[in-house]
Amino acid sequence: MAMAVAHASTAASKLAVSVGVAPQHSSRAQRVRFVAPVSVSSELQLSKKSRRLRVGAVNGSNLAALYSHSQYREQRSRRGEAMVVRASEVAVKEESGTPSLGLEVVETLEPNSRVHLKVRVPASVCKDCYDQVLKEFGKQAKVPGFRPGKPVPQSVLINYIGTDQIRSSAVEAVLKKTLPEAMSSVAGRSLKDSEHIVTKFADLAADFVPEKPLSYDVAVDVAPEVKWNPENGYKNLKVTVECEADDAVAAQKAADAELQSRVKDLGSLKVVIGRGVEMGDVAIVDVSAVRLNEDGTTGDEILSCKQKGFQLDTDEGGSFLPGFVEALIGIQNGESRSFDLVFPETWEQESLRGMKARFTVEGRELFVRQLPELNDELAPQLVENCTTVAEIKEALLKKHSEQIERVKKQATQFAITNELSKVVDIDIPNSLLEEQGRQMYAAKLIELQVKIETSICSCDIFKSLVLV
């Protein structure tokens, strides 16, 4: 492995984005590496879908209490949801140049780059939204005994629609109308979809009085501020990156391995009897393992290493535990063999790193590969849009050269980010950490799905075999 040194003094502002932050005075302040999460169900979002469900339930309850005739129930059911949504939307239609609403907003900075806003809406705004909602209900409601479009006395309209429903629609209208202005102080630094109304919507609706002010609390995550410790600590920063000694050699090796793998996929497997495992064979074995204590006694079983019908491709020894394939050379069907191995410190499963284990493997089936001849006739089956072996080799070499270059850049960025994190103080918002966790979890699920699908495809290979 060779060592490459990267300098970060001239790119500190850009690199700060790599650790999920954005420098001040940057037009890309919200374009952090992590994607802010879609917040959980909150009243702030006021989605029409959830509102329709709630509206439908409230309408049904009010109607059962006020009217028993089935005709009125049908009318309430038909007009309820769409009319309520429209009523609250009409109440908040804004035009450019709208004057200030006179909100009182108290901003408090909380840990993890969260801002708490305490908003007080004046009574005039509440009354205006309430009147607008009633006006829209009056236009849309088909009240028995009144002609469409004719004024309906307010008391009759309220009794027909239901007090609870009108309050809910009025509160929704107030929130839609006041939230943009209430959050104007954090508009340039808030993280997308991190905001939510802390106050419960049900409490707002229950306490709503058109002639009185309405108060609610909002919490929102903002882009964290970067503080260098020490000041200008990023200057003259140097990092060390491990990379391949010769990129060209590494790319050629990877391209040759992929070509061989593609040829193997087009080959066939034949059952072998009367001999043991040799390099190049494919064996089906049962594997189990137990921990070895320092005194040589055996401990608990390692469940993650237990597998029946495990497909062992001896050509892929590099992907197994070091020494595993070599220990099975010569094993025959029905033979059981035990051997001790040590998990390397770089093993993927952290709990097994450095652990000594005793493996027991029993041979079940043995196969030998028969590969097709690599020639130009086979080329179209190996790589799409390639007609010759030379074209295949060129395409695969280009692919792996680009991949090695991407890996090197990612490793350099990671190394720089790691060093920068040592000289910066930053309060990461919980929403960013949660979203990063979701992305890692989703990536792991996809990885597991690919492994399962690959395993299923591998099993299909053994459905039709020929005895040797």
**Cα distances (angstroms) measured from residue 342 to each of 324, 347, 356, 421:** 10, 10, 4, 34
Domain that holds residue 207: 38-222
CA atoms within 13 A on the CB side of 211: 0
Residues 175 and 323 occupy one common structural domain: no
pTM score above 0.75: no
Residues 44 and 184 occupy one common structural domain: yes
Residues 197 and 87 occupy one common structural domain: yes
What distance, in Å, lies between the first and last C-alpha atoms of the chain? Answer: 44
Instruction: Provide the CATH number for the domain around residue 343.
Output: 3.10.50.40
Spell out the residues 6+ positions from residue 404 whose beta carbon is closer than 8 angstroms to its own: 244, 247, 250, 251, 254
- Given 347, 369, 391, the domain boundary residue is 369
Residues 203 and 289 occupy one common structural domain: no
Tens digit of pLDDT at every position of the chain (468 positions):
444 434 443 333 333 323 333 333 333 333 322 222 323 233 333 333 333 333 333 333 332 232 233 333 344 334 443 334 344 444 444 433 456 888 999 999 888 888 999 999 999 999 999 999 888 887 777 777 777 767 778 788 888 888 888 899 999 999 999 999 998 888 888 888 888 899 999 999 999 999 999 999 999 998 888 888 877 777 878 888 887 778 889 999 999 999 988 998 898 899 999 899 999 899 999 999 999 998 889 999 999 899 999 999 998 877 789 999 999 999 999 999 999 999 999 888 888 999 999 999 999 999 998 889 999 999 999 999 899 999 999 999 999 999 999 999 999 999 888 888 888 888 888 888 888 888 888 888 888 887 676 655 544 444 444 444
Instruction: Provide the CATH number for the domain around residue 216.
Output: 3.30.70.1050
Residues 297 and 193 occupy one common structural domain: no
- Judge whether 376 lies within some domain: no
3-state helix/strand/coil string of 92-105: CCCCCCCCCCCCEE
Tokens of residue 415, six digits: 């190394």
